[in-house]
């Protein structure tokens, strides 16, 4: 932490970014003047010093959110939806700026931010604004045999605390901010200290769209100093977190005394299950796609499980295709794989790989840092012959590391796929529609992709099984969480 005076604004990739918190419609420096250093994964250079919040800033943000709540919750639905569409418009107008800043901040590919991630950020607001106005209303029901009328309403819950991850910070934050605001709640966001900048730009967009003061608040800082006081705060009514299982346990314990409903999207060790009748081109393409975002994707199919009958061909073709990936500066639109987020995370990923090698795993590709590029660039790695039950097969590595295992027959493949305490996602490749139906039904995961990958519909439920999370969000499931769903029962009129 730094306490000396720092610039209130910095320029990142030609874009001006405010380094202060956004609380109650104002830019606020930390009461103690503390800042933290934001470092770019691309070259480990310092981007700037960012205001580091603590209990005082959290208290102020929650107070501002609570003050703003009655008016925001009471705003007519059409007006609230219109404001959120203005936010979506503001995001769309600044896609290039947001993409360049986030690429510098978290090291993800610029082309992905431009083509998919930032447009999806706008969609997170527009979809839930439309859902609020057009789809949320529930028809009245009648109690059978008695004639009583039941009215189901979705009442705003209050203040929503959202703690967001660094691997897709703006997209994953707005996936929750959008429905939380649409539902009539006010929001306090704690962005990731490893990639905080686009949350600050979002505050500017919210202001320009005309959101009332206090409806949206941003408190920057570390998990210990800003996240902890937010999770235990008695003034919050919902708590959302995306991150690791151990951190989720700490957060749940902190929130428990206040009986705050939780939505957790946690880690994964997802299988990519390739049956013996799979379209080989498709299976190979999906397998190599798992190196997206340098493997820093919770939904990634890190365990390549392939029927022994086709394993040799599949493995060779995956290696051939993976070796064509270009690793380099994510601002280069031809780069396919970028760097890991921090030096600490780089060492964590390498530790997994080196221990796997010591345990007897065979390196088919990569197996260590990219010495040619240096820095935080880790070579795309594929390992085989990993001992059953070993760490590399059971723990989330969250880097560009895949393992290959073989099985004999669908039953064995399903058993291998389900042999994990996680259950965020699973991917299945088969050319037989009947096998697709049968095998997908047996896979234990919140999302199962069949002959596709990473297809997301904002109206569908999303969440994890097992230790991959608590709850589901998307469409009506989001409003179920962000609202107090009320049933008012009316006696028949005389």
CB neighbours of 94 closer than 8 A, spacing ≥ 6? 201, 205
Q: Is 452 one of the annotated active-site residues of the chain?
A: no
Catalytic-residue membership of 298: yes
| 380 neighbors 327 (Cβ within 8 angstroms) | yes
b/e per residue 417-439 (b: at least 16 CB within 10 A): bbbbebbbbbbbbbeeeebbeeb
Sorted by sequence, the CB contacts under 8 Å of residue 224 that are 6+ apart come out as none
- Residue 3: how many CB atoms within 10 A of its CB? 11
Q: Which of 13, 49, 57, 298 is catalytic?
A: 298
| Nearest by Cα to 215 from 69, 28, 57 | 69
13, 57, 265, 405: the catalytic one is: 265
CA distances from 227 to 188, 371, 408 (A): 11, 36, 47
DSSP 2: B
Q: Return the structure tokens found at 156.
A: 């705003």
Compute CA distances 157 → 73, 270, 366, 448, 471, whole Å. 9, 33, 49, 31, 16
Residue for token pair 């365990």 = 303
Q: What are phi and psi of 246, to 5 degrees?
A: -60, -40
Which residues are CB-neighbours of 359 under 8 A, at least 6 positions away? 386, 387, 390, 391, 392
Cα Rg of the chain, angstroms: 23
**C-alpha span between 115 and 439 (Å, rounded):** 33
Whether 13 and 32 have beta carbons less than 8 Å apart is answered as no
**Dist. CA 263–CA 241, nearest whole Å:** 7
Which residues are known to be catalytic?
265, 298
């Amino acid at each position: 932490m730094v306490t000396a005076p720092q610039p209130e604004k910095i320029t990142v990739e030609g874009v001006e970014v405010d380094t202060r918190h956004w609380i109650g419609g104002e830019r606020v420096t930390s009461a103690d003047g503390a800042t933290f250093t934001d470092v770019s994964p691309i070259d480990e250079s310092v981007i700037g010093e960012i205001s580091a919040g603590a209990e005082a800033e959290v208290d102020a943000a929650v107070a501002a959110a609570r003050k703003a709540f009655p008016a925001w919750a009471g705003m007519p639905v059409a007006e609230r939806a219109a404001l959120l569409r203005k936010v979506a418009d503001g995001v769309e107008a600044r896609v290039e700026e947001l993409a360049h800043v986030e690429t510098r901040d978290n090291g993800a590919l610029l082309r992905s931010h431009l083509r998919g991630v930032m447009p999806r950020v706008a969609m997170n607001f527009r979809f839930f604004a439309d859902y609020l106005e057009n789809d949320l209303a529930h028809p009245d029901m009648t109690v059978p045999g008695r004639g009583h009328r039941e009215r189901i309403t979705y009442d705003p819950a209050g203040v929503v605390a959202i703690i967001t991850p660094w691997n897709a910070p703006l997209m994953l934050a707005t996936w929750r901010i959008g429905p939380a605001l649409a539902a009539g709640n006010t929001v306090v966001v704690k962005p990731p200290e490893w990639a905080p900048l686009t949350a600050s730009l979002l505050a500017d967009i919210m202001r320009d769209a005309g959101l009332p003061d206090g409806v949206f608040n941003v408190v920057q800082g570390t998990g210990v100093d800003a996240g902890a006081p937010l999770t235990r705060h008695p003034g919050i009514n919902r708590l959302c977190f995306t991150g690791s299982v151990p951190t989720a346990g700490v957060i749940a314990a902190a929130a428990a005394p206040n009986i705050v409903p939780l939505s957790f999207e946690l880690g994964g060790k997802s299988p990519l299950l390739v049956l013996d009748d799979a379209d080989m081109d498709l299976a190979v393409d999906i397998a190599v796609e798992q190196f997206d975002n340098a493997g820093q994707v919770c939904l990634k199919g890190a365990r390549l499980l392939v029927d022994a009958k086709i394993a040799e061909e599949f493995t060779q073709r995956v290696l051939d295709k993976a070796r064509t990936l270009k690793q380099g500066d994510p601002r280069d639109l031809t780069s396919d794989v970028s760097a890991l987020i921090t030096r600490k995370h780089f060492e964590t990923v390498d530790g997994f790989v080196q221990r796997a090698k010591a345990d007897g795993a065979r390196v088919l590709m990569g197996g260590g840092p990219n010495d040619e590029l240096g820095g935080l660039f880790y070579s795309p790695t594929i390992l085989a012959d990993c001992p059953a039950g070993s760490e590399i097969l059971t723990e989330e590595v969250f880097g560009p590391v895949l393992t290959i295992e073989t099985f004999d027959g669908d039953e064995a493949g399903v058993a291998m796929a389900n042999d994990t305490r996680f259950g965020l996602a699973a991917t299945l490749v088969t050319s037989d529609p009947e096998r697709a139906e049968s095998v997908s039904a047996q896979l234990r995961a919140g999302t199962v992709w069949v002959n596709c990958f990473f297809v997301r519909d904002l109206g569908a439920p999303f969440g994890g099984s097992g230790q991959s999370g608590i709850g589901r969000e998307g469409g009506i499931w989001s409003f179920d969480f962000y609202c107090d769903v009320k049933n008012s029962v009316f006696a028949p009129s005389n």
